[in-house]
Amino acid sequence: MRGRFITFEGIDGAGKSTHIDALAEHLRQAGRPVVLTREPGGTPLAEQLRELLLHSPMDPLTEALLVFGARRDHLAQVIEPALAAGRTVLCDRFTDASFAYQGGGRGFDAGVLSTLEGWVHRDLQPDLTFWFDLPAAVAAERRAAVRAPDRFEQQDLAFFERVRAGYEARHRAAPHRIVRIEAAAPREQVWQQVLATLEQHPW
């Protein structure tokens, strides 16, 4: 039986990484085999491409091609084999991030992104996506408190508002799959939103 594919999305600083770790532990305690991974990254090759994406200057087309190149290797080496083996895959970001960051933030052609999506993973989509929605200004305050910014995190608030709008557009297009999480709430309330969504989702 095919495993379940769950992704976590949101602008940097929204808190998704904290809760993806918590959900992985929750599912493991329930006896479910879990693969926890991330994008860009997840394989040795994709992690090398991640470093380029986060720290090397490039134009939007190069950025999009590297993102989807890393994703193809990630799918082939990790995600697709894990799903075929019946495991639950939890992934910190997937293709929704490309439409939000490269499409919304960079203003890159959504038609090209859709073409790349079709080439790289065809009809494969997550079964469920948690979108951690947070105002850009709040996310910026959180990021500044914990780490030095990478190439994306150095962008201004207007960039992150466009990213947020990109996520909103994806949510409107697939409300059955993408569930909005109110990420400005206290951590325990956010966690309860995640658990409630998981329990209500029709697998």
Domain span at residue 187 reads 5-200
| CATH code for the domain of 183 | 3.40.50.300
Q: Residue 23 in contact with residue 192, Cβ under 8 Å?
A: no
DSSP letter string, 44-60: HHHHHHHHHHHHS---H
Helix runs in the chain, H state only: 16-29, 44-55, 60-74, 80-84, 95-97, 110-121, 136-146, 157-173, 187-200
Q: Per the structure, how many domains does the chain have?
A: 1
pTM (two decimals): 0.93
User: Distance between CA 185 and CA 182 in Å, rounded?
Assistant: 6
Q: How far is 180 from 115, CA to CA, in rounded Å? A: 26
pLDDT in tens, the chain (203 residues): 899 999 999 998 788 989 999 999 999 999 999 999 999 999 999 999 999 999 999 999 999 999 999 999 999 999 999 999 999 999 999 999 999 999 999 999 999 999 999 999 988 999 999 999 999 888 777 766 666 666 777 788 899 999 999 999 999 999 999 999 999 999 999 999 999 999 988 66
